[in-house]
Amino acid sequence: MPGYTPTTAQASRDVGLISAETPIRALDVTGKFAAQASEANKARMSIIDRLAKDQDAVNLAVANRETATAPMREAAFAASTQTPQQIQSAISLVVNKQIDDILASDAGKRSTVINAMNFAKNSVNRADTVGSLYEVRKDLRAAAQGLLDKEGSAYSQAKGQLEKVIRSVDDVIDSSAPGYKDYLRVYAQRSKNIEKVEAAQGFRGKVLSTIPDPINVGQFMLSQPKFVNAIRATAKETDMSQMQVKILERVGRDLDSGVLNKSGRVPGSDTFKNLSTANVIGGIIGKQMFGEVPAAANKVVAPLNWLYNGTDDQIRELLVDSMLDPKLAARLMSKASTTNIEPISKELQRKALNLGYGAAFGITE
271 belongs to a structural domain: no
Q: What is the DSSP string of 188-229?
A: HHHHHHHHHHHHHHHHHHHHEEEEEPSSSTT-EEEPHHHHHH
67 belongs to a structural domain: no
319 belongs to a structural domain: yes
Say what the pLDDT of residue 268 is.
44
Say what the pLDDT of residue 269 is.
47
Which of 20-29, 58-67, 72-81, 316-325 is the least confident region?
20-29
Domain end among 242, 263, 284: 263
Cα 98 to Cα 3: distance, rounded to the nearest angstrom: 55
φ/ψ of 329, rounded to 5, equals: -60, -35
Q: Are residues 314 and 244 in the same domain?
A: no
Domain end among 177, 210, 239: 177
Cα 274 to Cα 292: distance, rounded to the nearest angstrom: 10
73 belongs to a structural domain: no
Spatial CA neighbour of 363 closest among 282, 308, 300: 308
Q: Are residues 152 and 201 in the same domain?
A: no
Domain end among 113, 147, 177: 177
Average pLDDT over residues 228-256: 91
Counting residues of the chain whose pLDDT is more than 90, the rounded percentage is: 52
Average pLDDT over residues 246-264: 83
Say what the pLDDT of residue 27 is.
74
DSSP one-letter code for 2: T
- 13 pLDDT band, cuts 50/70/90, is confident
208 neighbors 220 (Cβ within 8 angstroms): yes
Query: Residue 133: pLDDT above 70?
Result: yes
269 belongs to a structural domain: no
Q: Are residues 199 and 250 in the same domain?
A: yes
What is the residue type of 55?
Q
2 belongs to a structural domain: no
Query: What's the domain range around 297?
Result: 276-361
Query: Residue 130: pLDDT above 50?
Result: yes
68 belongs to a structural domain: no
Domain count across the chain: 3
The number of angstroms, rounded, from the C-alpha of 164 to the middle of its chain's C-alpha atoms is: 34
Say what the pLDDT of residue 289 is.
47
